[in-house]
Amino acid sequence: MRRRILGRMAATAATLSLVAVLPAVTGGSAAQAHGRDDHGSSASSYKSVGYFTQWGVYGRDYQVKNVQTSGTAAKLTHLNYAFANIGADGKCFEANVAGEGDAWADYQRPLDAASSVDGTADTAEQPLAGNFNQLRELKAANPKLKVMISIGGWGWSTHFSDAARTAASRKALVASCLDIFVKGNLPLLDGKGGPGSAAGLFDGVDIDWEWPGSSGDVDTVYRPEDKRNFTSLAAEFRGQLDALGRKAHKHYDLSAFLPAAPAKIDAGFEVRKIFKYLDFGTVQGYDFHGPYEATTNQQSALKAPRNSPVPHDFSDTQAVGDWLRRGAPARQLVLGVPFYGQGWTGVPDGGTAGLFQPSTGPAPATWQAGNEDYHALKALASSGTYTVHRDVRNGFAWLYDGTNFWTYDDPQVIAQKTAYIKRAHLGGAMVWSLDGDTANGELINAIHQGLAAHHR
**Over residues 400-422, mean pLDDT:** 98
How many residues appear in the chain? Answer: 456
Which pLDDT tens digit goes with each residue over 421-452? 999 999 999 999 999 999 999 999 999 999 98
> What pLDDT, on a 0 to 100 scale, did the predictor assign at position 258?
98
**Over residues 138-166, mean pLDDT:** 98
> What pLDDT, on a 0 to 100 scale, did the predictor assign at position 34?
30
Shortest CA distance to 156 belongs to which of 237, 229, 234, 102? 102
210 tagged catalytic: yes
The answer to whether the bond into 209 is cis (omega within 30° of 0) is no
Shortest CA distance to 211 belongs to which of 160, 170, 165? 160
For the chain, the structural domain boundaries read 13-18+40-340+411-452
> What pLDDT, on a 0 to 100 scale, did the predictor assign at position 8?
28
Dihedral angle sign, alpha carbons of residues 118, 121, 127, 130: positive
With residue 268 as reference, give the H or E element that holds it.
helix 262-268
**Over residues 2-7, mean pLDDT:** 39
Whether the per-residue pLDDT at 56 is higher than 80: the answer is yes
Q: By the 8 A CB rule, do 52 and 434 touch?
A: yes
- Supply the pTM of this predicted model: 0.91
To the nearest whole number, what is the mean pLDDT of the chain? 91
Of 94, 137, 210, 293, the active-site residue reads 210
CATH of 13-18+40-340+411-452, one of 3.40.50.620, 3.90.79.10, 1.10.3720.10, 3.20.20.80: 3.20.20.80
**pLDDT band at 23, cuts 50/70/90?**
very low
Separation between Cα atoms, residue 294 and residue 345, nearest integer Å: 10
> What pLDDT, on a 0 to 100 scale, did the predictor assign at position 44?
57
Q: Between helices 442-452 and 374-381, what is the axis angle to 10°?
A: 100
